[in-house]
Structure 1
Amino acid sequence: MLISQDRWLPLMDLRITSDGGWESCVQLGPSSEWFLGHFDEYPLLPGVAVLALVAETVKKQGRKQGRSLEVSGFFGVRFKRLVLPDEVMIISVGAMPPGSEAKLIFHVTCHGHIVVYGVLKAIEELSGG
């Protein structure tokens, strides 16, 4: 298992699916700073953290393919389940086509249940020259 050194966005097991999509997984322990103050008696992972992990999956997978990708927006996002400390999330993003921008379907699951799903807009920052 490949473990990231990034304490905020510690993605693991980045892989390409059989249909060309991207996947990663993440497990945030109770000491993760994402849980500080959210909430002391019943820690929950903030939705913005989940979306940041989705965006990081796109960026890292893009880098692995020699592309400089960014997420410029999310659309139709629906949160369906809470995420607690130590739960493993699987992040899945649709395949990025060859063009410089695309809308990609994504979803995040935990214990086989949907945490969040929606569409993201990925753009490739092309170097001018």
Structure 2
Amino acid sequence: MALLENIDIRDVLPHRYPFLLVDRILELEEERIVGLKNVTANEPFFVGHFPEYPVMPGVLIVEAMAQVGGVLVLLSVEDRKNKLVLFASIEEAKFRRPVLPGDTLIIECKTLKRKASVVKMQGIATVNGQVVAEGIVMCKLADKPASGTPSKE
């Protein structure tokens, strides 16, 4: 059973279909989170990547890691309705196996370091217990501007 369902995640993250890449949160601790993405044959990115051999783009696996980590970061702040988590960097990204239609992508993020508004996390994505991608994701917690446009801090 999930701790957070899709509707709950949409209450935390600003992302929406087709760019919301987290379906459920399965585990949640103070410095660790596990999320799930059911990769279906109907994903819009499979139309062009690649029609004869559909593979989830690695950059979207990294984005899914950042979104799962973003849930962890936003749930740790009291005024999360007034905050955004902005993707700052990816380091040491490695892609081990392709992610295909029908796969269940499990994403674990662990906080490595927090300094002011910056959070560094280790992300590991697996399918059937095998690592498909990993990397170090850095995010920045920012104030959500009234206009809806991110500030240029």
TM-score (norm 2): 0.71
Give the 3-state SS of the residue equivalent to 1:94 in structure 2. Answer: strand
Tell whether the 8 Å contact from 2:70 to 2:139 is kept in structure 1 after alignment: no
Residue pairs, 1:68-79, within 5 angstroms: 68-79=84-95
1:49 is aligned to 2:91: no
Residue 11 of structure 1, CA deviation: 1.2
Which shows bigger deviation, 71-80 or 117-126?
Answer: 117-126
Which of 133, 138, 141 does residue 124 from structure 1 map onto? 141
Where do 5+ consecutive residues of structure 1 fail to align?
A: none
CA gap of 1:36–1:125, structure 2 versus 1, over 3 A, is same
Structure 2 gap ranges (5+): 8-15, 146-153
2:124 corresponds to 1:111: no
The residue number in structure 1 matching 2:110 is: 94
Q: Are residues 1:3 and 2:20 paired?
A: no
Residue 30 of structure 1 corresponds to: 41
The answer to whether the Cα contact below 8 Å between 2:6 and 2:22 also exists between their aligned partners in 1 is yes
TM superposition shift of 1:99: 3.1
The secondary structure found in structure 1 opposite 2:56 is: coil
Distance 1:28 1:51 in 2: 14
How far the C-alpha of 1:53 sits from its partner, in A, is 1.1
Number of paired residues?
128
Counterpart code for 2:25: L
